[in-house]
Amino acid sequence: MDRYFDQSIKGVSTGTTILAVKFNGGVIIGSDSRASMGGSYVSSKTINKLIQVHDRIFCCIAGSLADAQAVTKMAKFQLSFHSIQMESPPLVKAAASVMKELCYSNKDELQAGFITAGWDRKKGPQVYTVSLGGMLLSQPFTIGGSGSTYIYGYVDSKYKPDMSREECLQFATNAIALAMGRDNVSGGVVHLVVITEDGAEHVVIPGDKLPKFHDE
């Protein structure tokens, strides 16, 4: 009941938890793996919400899945064309700008927001968020999706700039696990992608290996 009320005011929020965090030398982008219909049926337990738009640039989506797929397909195409023209890998900011342009120009039809994260030679690791209406913002870390409300306090208290890769993995895993523990439309396994100068590495943490907290 509450969720439908919220949706009419704030717009559709995918039942999901997504985040991206910068660390010393790279970024980690992560999400849960649940796709649900209306909060009472889990249509998939293991979908991957982390979409690769270029070698070292990934996106994750919040909002309508259909809109998100359409936008990311378009972005992938534009980026690969751009990268061929420039004869170099695209900047993360370029990827985020492509998303922003699509979201802003079609703001009346679309209902999707994105987190774009990656590594490029010019600025190193970066995290960008493109909101529903097309605002583009660069941040040290960002969280999104319905499950993110429950972990604002946790990420605000635990984030430190320049973490190591291991600290950052722990931070991202804990945050998503906590959100999955409180949000009924987030769940399944934790998908993480670690992006550095050396490439992108996909880490999957299954349910039984997730961190447990005091009441579990």
Partner 1 sequence: MAATAAMGFPQHLSSFNDLVPEWTSREVSTGTTIMAVEFDGGVVMGADSRTTTGAYIANRVTDKLTPIHDQIFCCRSGSAADTQAIADAVTYQLGFHSIELDEPPLVQTAANLFKDMCYRYREELMAGIIVAGWDKRRGGQVYTVPVGGMLTRQPVSVGGSGSSYIYGYVDSNYRTGMSKEECLRFAAGALSLAMERDGSSGGVVRLAVISEQGVERQVILGNQLPKFSTL
What does the binding site for partner 1 look like in residue numbers (CB under 8 A)?
2, 140, 149-157, 159-161, 174-175, 178-179, 181-182, 213-215
Between 158 and 165, CB nearer to partner 1: 158
State in angstroms the smallest separation of the CB of 210 from partner 1. Answer: 13
Active site residue 16: yes
Residue pair 33/46 in contact by the 8 Å Cβ criterion: yes
Give whichever of 126 and 174 is closer to partner 1, judged by the CB atom.
174
DSSP-assigned beta bridge partners for residue 130 = 114, 136
Structure tokens, 37: 């219909």
Pick 97 or 148: Cβ nearer partner 1: 148
Between the alpha carbon of residue 209 and those of residues 144, 153, 190, 206, the distances in Å are 23, 24, 10, 6
User: Least distance (Å) from partner 1 to the CB of residue 201?
Assistant: 25
Rounded to a whole number of angstroms, the minimum distance from the CB of residue 188 to partner 1 is: 18
**14, 16, 116, 196: which one is catalytic?**
16
Kindly state the smallest distance separating residue 84's Cβ from partner 1, in Å: 39
C-alpha to C-alpha distance for 195 and 100, rounded to whole angstroms: 22
Choose between 6 and 201: whose C-beta lies nearer to partner 1. 6
| Active site positions, annotated | 16
